[in-house]
């Protein structure tokens, strides 16, 4: 008995059917297990579906097998395509022994080799400067100025005439820039009372770009620009001027200001740490003196008294264990400390350390402890900014605040970008009105663009406090006395106040006063930026803090005479060897040293007649008058030349060694592509020793790719065998055992791989020639010895065996590549060029000798191949045709749209010619005037625009297609897809063919083409095979679906029949029960 009930319904054909209710209990009427009976019938039906499902499962296995084969084919295709890449066979490793001198880059034509040279000099463009002028609009006179680049005797100099009304320094600059002299003039603002100098720079690099200038101007307010060498005629002794230093005052707090160093040679046996502490504060030097104590980590201690009678700032003070303390001028504060770490000498047992590493080491002293607590800045004033901001302060230089060394404080508002620099070295913190601050006012300039920001006045009594330096926006900064290092930083936040009525602003802003008075402590650059704090600190030198507070000043008069003969500007420093009197003291000498390290000595002692000139260097002479000289006192003489930068060539000595020699090579530029074949060289500086460039063929890459190819080939073969084998031990067949498609794919791959390469010599046209062999099982092996020999001896033969290769016998025709459609001809293809490629251009109308540019014609627009430039605006002034062409060229280079497209602007027969940077029929140049402008005066209104031309010719006697300088084989011909780059000049065309191109397709190319066909996702062999299997699987699915539907229909029919049976038997049983009841009743009635 099963669960279920029957409901009778009318079918479409009028037959009454029993519809099974899934929640009903069946078998109640018949007492039969109808569900089990139906399931047995259905099991018989399922036997018909099982064979179909088994056949489908077999096809699923075949499809999975093909997926595995396809994956290995794709891998093989990938490594095969890699073997046809330029980077594999033409890879070069270029190494230089000194990248700071030269940077080499290998081209395709580079050849392995080793090259050595010495760089004597790099190419520089000549640069001259005049003397200084008070103003840039100062009148310098009328007359002629002649300019010439180089020493070509046949070339006439460019003459510039300055007339009355056009005779200022600015006028001369403008005239030079508008001339054809190939010189750029610029007025540089330097320093001093006469800061404006006329700077001339040659546009031609190297010695051929040397500027020769002749100035003949008269009648000006000042002397005309001069380009003669000058030198200081006298100098002042720096000396030691006796005086007492007063305590500097900062923002109400501060620390010790002396620079300290610890030197000597540490003789202790163990590493140690010394702490120095100020026991008695005061000035160094001073009569009262100071006391500094020291203590090491072992508890040893001592004291060092310092006063003006026993110590000269900067001289050594003995401490202990060979250590010496050096301390500069300044004030030390009671309790202030600093520490020094020392490392003892290491034993020879530490053999792996160098001699320098084993030697005793003395660290830099730490900062004074007061710097962290007392050193810092104070920002005050009434903030005038409209927005909240943060001001960052950073120190440039090392030394004392207010000290003699160069020390600057840079500041920047982070939100607005406003920035500037302030001097916080001497005379900052000097005593006001006592001569310590030698200037009444100063000007702050922007540190990047030099723009003047504001003036400062601070030395007159009753004026601004000189310790409060303005930083703009109503704020001032005060820097407290201390010792600062380069990069020390801090910042201050300032808040812009907001009126109480502006209710929507933050509570912290409303009603806040704009008065600012905050302090900030210094942090090292590393601490401020969150960098590695173990980074070595900027070194401080005690000499930077010595101000000459003891000793004396020499008084012998100084005079320099002669003629300075070299183009190199130098400074000479003369220093007294010992104390004495000029012309009296025996062996009294001045020793001099110049900027470049050259040195010498002058005898001015016994036997010297004061005032007698003595020659010392480069045509200069020195004389000293009567007077006293103090040891270590010195003075400096500076020379000035008109040559700010020398005109010099790039000079190389190829093949030079440490001993010298070599072939001299000169170039006027620092980029050279013809010094070493196949290398582009860029030079940065001269070299003190020979530089070596090594060009190495990177054969490791090729060998690696060959191994990848063999591995991928064998993996494919192994996979194909695995999915098509028959296992006798288990009597089972792999999914693709009888698949003819797989056998065909395997055969085509193997056949293509072992085939000969057409176009190569017979000895090198098969893989076995380089040690690659296929055994009787279809697996490939490598004879490493043979392969290595071939790679070393004939690498190009190995490359051509795999890659597509082409070459021509004309260097102006370059093989670029080919496609699958290109057919190899063992004899090559003739190349006949009938028309060379040309660039489009625009040719203007003839120009007058002077072209006036004003607001009616100063804007033009240039179109190149349909691409439009920005509006090109010319400066309104007079131009020669040559300077006009140069100016338009410069503006084009600066243009965002066309600046990198290689457009050239030339002057050709008195006309402007603008030439496209591209070749071909689509190469065009058009010129349009700006809105409301007329370009007639520039010759650009009615000029002629001529389009370029494509190269034309034939390859293999079949007309090819030209696109610019590219010539492509005709479609449908044997040369289809063959690409040649043609740079032949019109004059080199001949009646015969211009060249022959020979091509070959290596194993990688042919196998790659074959794999492309096999793996084609539309109609490849693999696609067809898998589509066939997929189609069969679809048929099986449809067949299974039909059988399942048939079984379900049969189940429904059986269920209906048994439901009907059950219903009928139920009725009969009900009737039986009724009759039985009636009979029982009748029987009972009879008995009663």
Give the model confidence (pLDDT) of 642-660 as tens digits: 888 888 899 999 988 888 8
Q: Are residues 768 and 812 in the same domain?
A: no
Q: Is residue 320 part of a domain?
A: yes
557 with 625: CB under 8 angstroms? yes
Q: In what order do the strands lie in the sheet with 361-362?
A: 301-306, 290-296, 272-280, 337-343, 361-362
Is the pLDDT at 727 greater than 60, yes or no? Answer: yes
Q: Are residues 832 and 878 in the same domain?
A: no
Task: Grade residue 708 by pLDDT with cuts at 50, 70 and 90.
Answer: very high
Task: Give percent helix, percent strand, percent coil of the chain, each to the nearest 5.
Answer: 20, 35, 45
Q: Are residues 868 and 938 in the same domain?
A: yes
Say what the pLDDT of residue 28 is. 56
Say what the pLDDT of residue 532 is. 64
Q: Is residue 243 part of a domain?
A: no
The pair of three-digit structure tokens given for residue 217, joined into one six-digit string:
């101007």
Q: Which of 62-71, 600-609, 818-827, 1038-1047 has the lowest mean pLDDT?
A: 1038-1047
The b/e string for 467-488 (b: 16+ C-beta within 10 A; e otherwise) is: bbbbbbbbbbbbbbbbbbbbbb
What's the total number of domains in the chain?
8
Say what the pLDDT of residue 550 is. 43
Is the pLDDT at 536 greater than 70, yes or no? Answer: no
Where does a domain end: 362, 397, 421? 362
Is the pLDDT at 19 greater than 60, yes or no? Answer: no
Task: Grade residue 391 by pLDDT with cuts at 50, 70 and 90.
Answer: very high
- The rounded percent of the chain whose pLDDT value lies above 90 is 31
Predicted TM-score (pTM) of this structure:
0.46
274 with 287: CB under 8 angstroms? no
Express each pLDDT in 784-843 by its tens digit: 999 888 888 888 888 888 888 888 999 899 998 888 889 988 888 999 999 999 999 999
Whole-number Å distance between alpha carbons of 362 and 368: 17
Q: Are residues 13 and 99 in the same domain?
A: no
Q: Are residues 501 and 403 in the same domain?
A: yes
Say what the pLDDT of residue 545 is. 59
Q: Is residue 170 part of a domain?
A: yes
| CA-closest candidate to residue 330, choices 397, 393, 403, 265 | 403
Q: What is the mean pLDDT of residues 291-295?
A: 92
Is the pLDDT at 574 greater than 90, yes or no? Answer: yes
Is the pLDDT at 844 greater than 90, yes or no? Answer: yes
Q: Are residues 131 and 44 in the same domain?
A: no
- Higher-confidence residue of 39 and 682: namely 682
362 with 342: CB under 8 angstroms? yes
The pair of three-digit structure tokens given for residue 28, joined into one six-digit string:
């109640």
- Higher-confidence residue of 727 and 5: namely 727
- The rounded percent of the chain whose pLDDT value lies above 70 is 88
Q: Are residues 457 and 606 in the same domain?
A: no
Q: Is residue 286 part of a domain?
A: yes
Say what the pLDDT of residue 435 is. 41
Q: What is the mean pLDDT of residues 101-110?
A: 86
Name the average pLDDT for the chain: 83
745 with 69: CB under 8 angstroms? yes
Q: Is residue 248 part of a domain?
A: no
Phi and psi based region of residue 616 (left: phi greater than 0; alpha: psi -120 to 50; beta: remaining): alpha
Say what the pLDDT of residue 31 is. 65
Is the pLDDT at 611 greater than 90, yes or no? Answer: yes
Helices (H), 499-572: 525-529
> Could you identify the residue written with the tokens 């980077």?
87
Measure CA of the first residue to CA of the last residue in the chain; give whole Å: 41
Is the pLDDT at 246 greater than 50, yes or no? Answer: no
- Higher-confidence residue of 1037 and 852: namely 852
Is the pLDDT at 243 greater than 70, yes or no? Answer: no
Whole-number Å distance between alpha carbons of 480 and 371: 10
Three-state secondary-structure class, residue 706: helix
Express each pLDDT in 116-133 by its tens digit: 999 999 999 999 888 889
Whole-number Å distance between alpha carbons of 6 and 26: 8
- Higher-confidence residue of 748 and 496: namely 748
Q: Is residue 32 part of a domain?
A: yes
Q: Are residues 337 and 420 in the same domain?
A: no
Say what the pLDDT of residue 552 is. 58
Say what the pLDDT of residue 760 is. 84
919 with 948: CB under 8 angstroms? yes
10 with 16: CB under 8 angstroms? yes
Say what the pLDDT of residue 859 is. 94
Say what the pLDDT of residue 102 is. 93
Q: What is the mean pLDDT of residues 738-756?
A: 88
Q: Find the length of the chain.
A: 1088
The pair of three-digit structure tokens given for residue 162, joined into one six-digit string:
């300055």
Is the pLDDT at 930 greater than 70, yes or no? Answer: yes
Say what the pLDDT of residue 245 is. 42
Express each pLDDT in 867-884 by its tens digit: 999 999 998 888 888 889
837, containing H or E segment: none
Q: Are residues 704 and 677 in the same domain?
A: no
Say what the pLDDT of residue 185 is. 92
Q: How far is CA 646 from CA 81, 90, 124, 567, in A?
A: 54, 41, 7, 7
Say what the pLDDT of residue 447 is. 44
Say what the pLDDT of residue 569 is. 82
Is the pLDDT at 449 greater than 60, yes or no? Answer: no
Q: Are residues 967 and 1080 in the same domain?
A: no
The b/e string for 675-689 (b: 16+ C-beta within 10 A; e otherwise) is: bbebbbbebeeebee
Where does a domain end: 174, 209, 228? 228
Say what the pLDDT of residue 247 is. 42
Q: What is the mean pLDDT of residues 726-746?
A: 85
Q: Is residue 245 part of a domain?
A: no
Q: Is residue 732 part of a domain?
A: yes
668 with 209: CB under 8 angstroms? yes
Q: Are residues 607 and 634 in the same domain?
A: yes
Express each pLDDT in 163-198 by its tens digit: 999 999 999 999 999 988 889 999 998 888 889 999
Whole-number Å distance between alpha carbons of 198 and 137: 12
Q: Are residues 811 and 784 in the same domain?
A: no
Is the pLDDT at 4 greater than 80, yes or no? Answer: no
Is the pLDDT at 453 greater than 80, yes or no? Answer: no
DSSP 741-770: HHHHHHHHHHHHHHS--TTS-GGGSSGGGG
Whole-number Å distance between alpha carbons of 1046 and 1053: 11
Structural domain for 152, as ranges: 125-228
Q: Which of 27-31, 198-202, 876-880, 989-993 has the lowest mean pLDDT?
A: 27-31
Express each pLDDT in 300-345 by its tens digit: 999 988 886 667 777 788 999 999 988 887 888 888 899 999 999 8
Q: How far is CA 59 from CA 56, 888, 1033, 1041, 1044, in A?
A: 5, 74, 6, 17, 20
């Amino acid at each position: 008995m099963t669960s279920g009930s029957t409901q009778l319904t009318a079918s479409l054909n009028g037959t009454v059917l029993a519809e099974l209710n899934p929640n009903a209990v069946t078998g109640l009427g018949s007492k039969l297990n109808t569900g089990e009976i139906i399931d047995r019938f259905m099991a018989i039906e399922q036997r018909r579906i099982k064979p179909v499902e088994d056949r489908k499962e077999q096809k699923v296995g075949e499809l999975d097998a093909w997926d595995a084969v396809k994956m290995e084919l794709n891998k093989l295709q990938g490594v095969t395509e890699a073997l046809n890449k330029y980077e594999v066979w033409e890879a070069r490793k270029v190494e230089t022994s000194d990248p700071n001198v030269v940077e080499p880059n290998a081209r395709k034509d580079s050849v392995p080799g080793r090259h050595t040279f010495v760089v004597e000099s790099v190419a520089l463009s000549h640069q001259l400067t005049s003397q200084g002028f008070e103003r840039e609009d100062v009148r310098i006179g009328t007359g002629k100025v002649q300019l010439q680049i180089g020493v070509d005797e046949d070339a006439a100099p460019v003459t510039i005439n300055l007339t009355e009304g056009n005779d200022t320094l600015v006028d001369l600059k403008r005239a030079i820039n508008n001339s054809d002299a190939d010189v750029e003039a610029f007025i540089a603002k330097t320093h001093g009372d006469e800061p404006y100098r006329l700077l001339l720079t040659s546009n031609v690099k190297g010695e051929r770009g040397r500027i020769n200038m002749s100035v003949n101007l008269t009648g000006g307010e000042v002397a005309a620009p001069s380009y003669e060498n000058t030198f200081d005629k006298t100098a002042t002794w720096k000396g030691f001027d006796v005086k007492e230093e007063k305590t500097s005052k900062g923002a109400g707090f501060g620390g010790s200001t002396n620079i300290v160093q610890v030197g000597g040679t540490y003789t202790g046996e163990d590493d140690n740490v010394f702490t120095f502490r100020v026991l008695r504060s005061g000035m160094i030097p001073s009569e009262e003196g100071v006391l500094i104590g020291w203590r090491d980590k072992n508890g040893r201690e001592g004291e060092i008294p310092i006063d003006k009678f026993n110590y000269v700032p900067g001289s050594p003070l003995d401490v202990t264990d060979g250590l010496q303390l050096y301390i500069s001028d300044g004030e030390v504060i009671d309790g202030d400390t600093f520490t020094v770490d020392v490392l003892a000498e290491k034993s020879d047992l530490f053999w792996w350390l160098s001699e320098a590493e084993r030697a005793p080491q003395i660290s830099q002293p730490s900062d004074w402890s007061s710097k962290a607590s007392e050193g810092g800045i104070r920002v005050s004033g009434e903030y005038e900014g409209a927005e909240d901001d943060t001001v960052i302060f950073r120190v440039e230089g090392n030394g004392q605040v207010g000290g003699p060394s160069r020390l600057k404080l840079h500041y920047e508002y982070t939100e607005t970008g406003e920035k500037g620099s302030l001097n916080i070295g001497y005379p900052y913190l000097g005593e006001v009105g006592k001569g310590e601050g030698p200037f009444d006012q100063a000007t702050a300039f922007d540190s990047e663009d030099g723009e003047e920001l504001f003036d400062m006045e601070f030395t007159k009594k009753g004026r601004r406090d000189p310790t409060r330096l303005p930083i703009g926006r109503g704020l001032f900064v005060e820097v407290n006395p201390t010792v600062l290092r380069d990069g020390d930083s801090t910042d201050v936040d300032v808040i812009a106040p907001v009126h109480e009525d502006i209710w929507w602003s933050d509570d912290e802003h409303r009603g806040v006063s704009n008065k600012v008075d905050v302090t900030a402590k210094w942090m090292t650059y590393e601490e401020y930026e969150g960098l590695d704090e173990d980074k070595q600190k900027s070194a401080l030198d005690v000499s930077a803090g010595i101000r000459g507070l003891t000793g004396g000043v020499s008084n012998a008069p100084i005079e320099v005479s002669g003629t300075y003969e070299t183009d190199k500007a130098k400074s000479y420093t003369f220093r007294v060897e010992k104390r004495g009197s000029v012309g009296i003291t025996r062996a009294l000498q001045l020793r001099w040293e110049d900027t470049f390290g050259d040195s010498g000595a002058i005898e001015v002692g016994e036997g010297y007649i004061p005032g007698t000139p003595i020659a010392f260097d480069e045509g200069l002479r020195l004389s000293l008058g009567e007077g006293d000289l103090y040891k270590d006192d010195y003075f400096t003489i500076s020379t000035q030349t008109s040559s700010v930068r020398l005109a010099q060539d790039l000079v190389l000595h190829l093949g030079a060694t440490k001993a010298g020699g070599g072939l001299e090579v000169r170039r006027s530029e620092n980029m050279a592509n013809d010094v070493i074949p196949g290398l582009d060289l860029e030079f940065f500086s001269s070299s003190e020793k020979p530089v070596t460039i090594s060009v190495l063929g990177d054969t490791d890459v090729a060998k690696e790719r060959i191994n990848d190819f063999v591995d991928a080939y064998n993996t494919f073969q192994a996979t194909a065998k695995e999915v098509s084998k028959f296992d006798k031990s288990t009597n089972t067949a792999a999914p693709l055992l009888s698949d003819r498609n797989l056998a065909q794919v395997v055969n085509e791959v193997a056949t293509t791989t072992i085939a000969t390469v057409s176009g190569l010599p017979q000895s090198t046209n098969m893989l076995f020639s380089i040690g690659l062999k296929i055994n009787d099982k279809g697996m490939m092996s490598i004879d490493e010895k043979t392969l290595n020999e071939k790679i070393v001896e004939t690498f190009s033969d190995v490359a051509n065996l795999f890659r597509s290769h082409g070459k021509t016998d004309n260097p102006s025709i370059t093989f670029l590549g080919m496609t699958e459609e290109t057919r190899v001809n063992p004899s090559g293809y003739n190349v006949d060029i009938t028309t060379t490629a040309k660039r489009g251009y625009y040719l203007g109308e003839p120009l007058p000798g002077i072209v006036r540019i004003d607001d009616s014609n100063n804007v033009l627009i240039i179109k190149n191949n349909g691409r439009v430039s920005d509006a090109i605006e010319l400066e309104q002034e007079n131009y020669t045709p040559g300077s006009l062409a140069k100016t338009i060229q410069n503006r084009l280079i600066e243009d965002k749209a066309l600046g990198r497209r290689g457009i050239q602007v030339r002057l050709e027969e008195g006309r402007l010619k603008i030439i496209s940077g591209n070749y071909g029929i689509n190469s065009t140049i058009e010129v349009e005037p700006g809105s409301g402008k007329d370009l007639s005066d520039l010759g650009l209104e009615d000029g002629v625009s001529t389009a370029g031309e494509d190269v034309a010719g034939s390859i293999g006697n079949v007309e090819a297609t030209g696109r610019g300088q590219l010539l492509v084989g005709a479609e449908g011909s044997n040369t289809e897809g063959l690409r040649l780059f043609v740079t032949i000049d019109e004059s080199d065309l001949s009646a015969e063919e211009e060249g022959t191109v020979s091509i070959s397709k290596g194993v990688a190319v042919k196998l790659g083409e074959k794999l492309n066909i096999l793996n084609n996702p539309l109609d490849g062999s693999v696609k067809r095979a898998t589509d066939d299997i997929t189609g069969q699987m679809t048929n099986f699915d449809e067949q299974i679906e039909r059988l399942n539907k048939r079984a379900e229909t049969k189940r429904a029919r059986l269920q209906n029949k048994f439901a009907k049976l059950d219903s009928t038997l139920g009725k009969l049983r009900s009737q039986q029960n009724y009759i039985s009841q009636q009979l029982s009743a009748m029987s009972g009635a009879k008995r009663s």
